[in-house]
Structure 1
């Protein structure tokens, strides 16, 4: 990665009693990057975020912020701010006072505080509400104020601990746009924690997928989704069909496999060996009906269908296995393939992925 390193995590491990939350985790985050730590509950992502903030100390390993080791430096001496899921606004203060509070503690001059507070409230579109208190705001408005307060002291790194999880769906989508734009406009390194794969794919420059206290894969959203390195990543990020296959020939990043769907060559994880493996095939990569022409094709039967507005999700039987497929609804609902109907399906071998078992 060409960009300077804002965060370096070096062999960090952490246990809570007999439970090991992190197991020798290492990665870098670039300056001005929107970096997301994604994973299920208990994977260690929040523990890592708390270490970056200084609220937790590793049992072993080191944390560096902008080339400076901060493993033993307390939170208030790091140029890092955190936006919490609960917003943590002071209920007795106005929005203006909430945003100004941290600047006053840092000893900024009054005129500078006033100017910075006004600038930040304007940036998050909350200037008109400066004299209100948090209880008078909606959840989305409180989240904007929490962002303004965290960004006001000009932190080098902003940590975001699942800040959108308490919002409803449409507001969450709107706030994703707000966060992405704020990060681009300010140039501050954002480190975002979430269990929501859609949030991670939508906003991030890069994603670290964590599972069982370890980094399973780091990459761009496209790499994480299209090129998962193992079954955990393929299963956690998006939906997929898993099929047991046999690798007949293995190359650096491709493999010839034999499966219930036929024998063909497909992309594979590195260091693939001959023998049992797993094929990952995303539902949207399976073409139905007249769209299946010109690719690997099979006869299938529609077991069930679920109309979801923009897409219809199908459960199919083909080659003795059950598959899930998704098709975009480009026209009216009457175009849906009914349950029980025979249909041709197909897919491009390049759209599948062979994973080591």
Structure 2
């Protein structure tokens, strides 16, 4: 994505938040672009929901500025911002029909009846709920409530839609289906979506860009592929997906590569991020980057399979190589003949360029 030519929908400029002596969010700065599906991802307590609430106007920054389409919105109450929020619990009015729920905000904005009815009908069609217009929220499934909450938030044509972990209350199958629906809605409407989640798979699946937050700071900002394939530090590599960490001693650094000594009894040169010569570091290798059995031309090591977990499309193995245990993820073939048994001796391998040397 070429962000240089994009219009900035939201600008976060040196924004921090403190509650007394507790610093919930360190000063952070980044831009969110128009018509972007932007995700703030991180563990509980990292500051992502606090930041979302400050964009919405439910919290005020301790320092810094938040700008919406270039205008400082500091001090503006939530209803004066062209921003709407979809909450985790949907917050639908139980005594109103679905149509009335969607129309409520439009009435408060003073929309004329004809325009309001037309917009409600458009929103019901957009979320494929037109047959349920006269029902009340308690007559709906979780996924249907989610659709109506989205329709209500989208109806006033906000410039930015904020989504605070909206899929967390749904079961796995429904969460997966709703991911596609959310992404399609964002593309159809062209509205900037700012999505908050702690679920890495959701973030990787839906986002144009991801902001990884940890310890109240921005740890990395980039596309899903950037974040997963090129983690900037150990925190990001550990939080996004699974990885193997091997203690490494940095022998030398030359440009983008570092030569390190690792516990597998070898020295290798691999891409590095923010490490220095003679420093302690870790070598990060994703389980799916390790070949089982070993492939020619790769760095190979002998070991023994100590566990095998069959998960349908993949089998996850743990291979013990000396004092080191490596997690290996292998896609299953059409038959079970290619699977390996616990206790079986095996050679595994990986390409040096698929590993990353990260600061410890």
For 2:205 and 2:306, the matched residues in 1 are separated by 32
CA contact (8 A) 1:253 1:267 kept: yes
Partner of 1:303: 306
Q: Report the TM-score, using the length of structure 2 for normalisation.
A: 0.97
Partner of 1:350: 353
Partner of 2:270: 266
Partner of 1:64: 67
Partner of 2:111: 108
Q: Alpha-carbon deviations, 1:194-253, whole Å to 9, x = none?
A: 000000000000000001111111010001001111111000110000011112221232
CA contact (8 A) 2:65 2:72 kept: yes
For 1:251 and 1:13, the matched residues in 2 are separated by 37
Partner of 1:241: 244
Partner of 1:94: 97
Partner of 1:158: 161
Q: State the 1:158 CA deviation.
A: 0.1
For 1:174 and 1:77, the matched residues in 2 are separated by 33
1:31 and 2:34 correspond: yes
For 1:339 and 1:348, the matched residues in 2 are separated by 25
For 1:355 and 1:71, the matched residues in 2 are separated by 38
Please state whether the residue corresponding to 1:82 is helix, strand or coil.
Answer: strand
Q: Alpha-carbon deviations, 1:312-337, whole Å to 9, x = none?
A: 11111124311111101112234321
Which 10-residue stretch deviates more, 250-259 or 29-38? 250-259
* Alignment length (residue pairs): 356
| Aligned equivalent of 2:47, options 44, 50, 56 | 44
Partner of 2:9: 6
Q: State the 1:20 CA deviation.
A: 1.1
| Aligned equivalent of 1:330, options 320, 325, 333 | 333
Q: Report the TM-score, using the length of structure 1 for normalisation.
A: 0.98
CA contact (8 A) 2:302 2:321 kept: yes
**Structure 1 unpaired stretches of 5+:** none
Q: Alpha-carbon deviations, 1:90-129, whole Å to 9, x = none?
A: 1111111111111111001111001110001100000010
CA contact (8 A) 2:245 2:284 kept: yes
CA contact (8 A) 1:9 1:62 kept: yes
For 1:75 and 1:219, the matched residues in 2 are separated by 29
For 2:303 and 2:338, the matched residues in 1 are separated by 18
For 1:322 and 1:187, the matched residues in 2 are separated by 47
Q: State the 1:265 CA deviation.
A: 1.5
Considering only aligned residues, what root-mean-square deviation do their CA atoms show, in Å? 1.1
Which 10-residue stretch deviates more, 266-275 or 223-232? 266-275
CA contact (8 A) 2:275 2:358 kept: no
Which 10-residue stretch deviates more, 262-271 or 131-140? 262-271
**Structure 2 unpaired stretches of 5+:** none
For 2:250 and 2:38, the matched residues in 1 are separated by 35
1:210 and 2:213 correspond: yes
Q: Alpha-carbon deviations, 1:284-339, whole Å to 9, x = none?
A: 111011x5222111111101111111111111112431111110111223432111
Partner of 2:143: 140
Partner of 1:279: 283
Q: How does 1:14-29 map to 2 (within 5 A)?
A: 14-29=17-32
